[in-house]
Amino acid sequence: MKVYAASVLLYAFSLEETLQIARELGYDGVEVWHYHLLASKESPAKLRQLAQELNLSLSLHALSWDLNFTSQLPGVRESSLELLMSSIDVAAELGANPVIVHPGRITAPNDDPELYWPLLIDGVTRLARHSASRGINLSMEVMEHIPKEFFITPSDANRLLSAVEADNVAITFDAAHVPWDIQPLAYLTQLARVDHVHISDANAGKIHLPLGNGERDFRPLLRYVSHQMSACITIEGMEYSRTTALAKRNKEQYDLLLRQSDSDYPLI
């Protein structure tokens, strides 16, 4: 099981520096945020070569801020899809696979989510077709239970997979998005096809905390993923200062949890 660093754990660094730091800290790969690449203005081809030299695997987190490809406004919807397709193109240049995509959201707060499902299915079908043409896998992320999100449960994920029927589409499971009263492993095992896992800590009131700073017990989850799945894990978080402390601490805590999971928890 490979462990990746989200590039935004080192957002103040260039991506060239980020790849080098990730390798020094013992990560197996980096999930490059496309927005990080836009901000740093680096060459995808050069980053691809550097990743190969460092023996790092890459995935890509597609653009998500300000995008909504299920918007009821056609202009917003189409421009969002165009930008997501540009993320897929960048992933092909980087040699990054899969591309992690946030689903669309509800436009008006009181709308019925069912109104948005045809737009979601159509959008993912178009993205999957473009991804396949570039040799890229698409991984749709199940979101947290907050206003306007409607792709938020295992049944939503499984419904989408059944509707799209594309071999290159799978699901990203984000442990921080699991409702607090549900165990992450119980949630994960309800998902039909997961190829990517996001992990960060949480407590009852806040998500995306550094590992070890929350109250989740991730040892059963890590035990299951490491022994029963072929998915990669990305450690998430956001650091705006020019420091490696967050990326370093997260990797140390992850390694500790992984060691403990091997000794403390039987396979289910």
Interval 44-53 mean pLDDT: 99
Q: In which domain, by residue range, is 38 found?
A: 3-264
For the full predicted model, state whether its pTM sits above 0.75: yes
CATH number of the domain to which 132 belongs: 3.20.20.150
Q: What pLDDT, on a 0 to 100 scale, did the predictor assign at position 263?
A: 73
Closest-CA residue to 2 (of 16, 22, 18)? 22
Asked whether 118 and 112 are in contact (CB, 8 A), the reply is no
Q: Give the confidence band of 113 by pLDDT, cuts at 50, 70, 90.
A: very high
Span 93-109, pLDDT tens digits: 999 999 999 999 999 99
Strands (DSSP E) found in 102-193? 138-141, 169-174
Lowest mean pLDDT among 20-24, 90-94, 263-267: 263-267
Whole-number pLDDT of residue 95: 98
Determine whether 22 is exposed, middle or buried from the number of CB atoms within 10 Å of its CB (0-12, 13-18, 19+): buried
pLDDT score recorded for residue 266: 55
Percent of residues, the chain, with pLDDT higher than 70: 98
Q: pLDDT at residue 125 above 60? A: yes
Letter for the amino acid at 193?
A: R
Tally of domains within the chain: 1
